[in-house]
Amino acid sequence: MAELAADYVCASLADGSATSLALPTGDTPIGMYKHLVERCRRGEISFSNAELFNLDEYTGMSPNNPRSYHAFMRRHLIDHIDVPAEQVHLLRGNVADPAEQCRDFDRAIAAAGGIDLAILGLGANGHIAFNEPGVSWELDTHVVTLDEKTRHAHRPNFPDEASVPSTGVTMGVNTLRSARKVLLLCAGESKREALAALLAGREDRAWPVTSLLGHTDLSILAEAALMPASKQFA
């Protein structure tokens, strides 16, 4: 699955033209990033013309905190590839004015011509990026209150429950749906119900992932065990 995801990203970078990528964090994409780093080191691909945007971040968290998504992206990808520093756009959790950061982030996306490829993980509650159930699908980058299911899922990364952030900043559903291509990565038994909601083919505000229905270029990479037999290899 990680290798196939890397193949998809490499195909988007293959011709060397300017390409903007929205990139996820979490356990699911780590293998993909490992393959991309290895291929870049071998000279098989280049990020020299790529604009990179992370999907989300915990509010109140310094980029230097190893639990931050800023640190995650540097640790697993950015510090190991040939992307120019000025082409990396990472949300920060500790800014004085989060609303202004959101506007600046949206302006950077617009300046890049929009997102060419949005790579998304899937939350057990159906969230994509930090767009939780009930959040407006009409928003661009915004601050959001994290669902308790999301906080529970992130609990193993923190010393105790009280230290798990309760808010985040995220690229909005409107931005994600406007991406030219979307690649959704699904791994883990906890994602079964959310993936089933998407495959049911009905938009449901209780499952943000269903906002992707109707997208003109949506690809899903999922563990075979999560896919109904009728959907495999479709």
DSSP letter for each residue of 118-152: EEE---TTS-BTTB-TT--TT--SEEEEPPHHHHH
- Active-site residue flag, 56: yes
How many degrees, rounded to 5, is the angle at CA 34 between CA 33 and CA 35?
Answer: 90
Selecting among 35, 51, 54, 125, the annotated active-site residue is: 125
Whole-Å CA distances, 213 to 18, 58, 116, 198: 27, 27, 18, 7
Tell me which of 132, 140, 142, 147 is the catalytic residue: 132
d(CA 161, CA 151) in angstroms, rounded, equals 8
CB within 8 Å of 199: residues ≥ 6 apart: 227, 228, 231
| Other C-beta atoms lying within 10 Å of the C-beta of residue 8 | 17
Q: Any catalytic annotation for residue 131?
A: no
Distance of CA 148 to CAs 14, 95, 124, 190, Å? Answer: 40, 24, 11, 15
**One of 56, 57, 116, 140 is an active-site residue; which one?**
56
Amino acid at 101: Q
Whether 169 contacts 25, CB under 8 Å: no
| Residue 106 designated active-site | no
Catalytic residue among 127, 131, 142, 147: 127
193 is catalytic: no
Please identify every residue annotated as catalytic. Answer: 56, 125, 127, 132
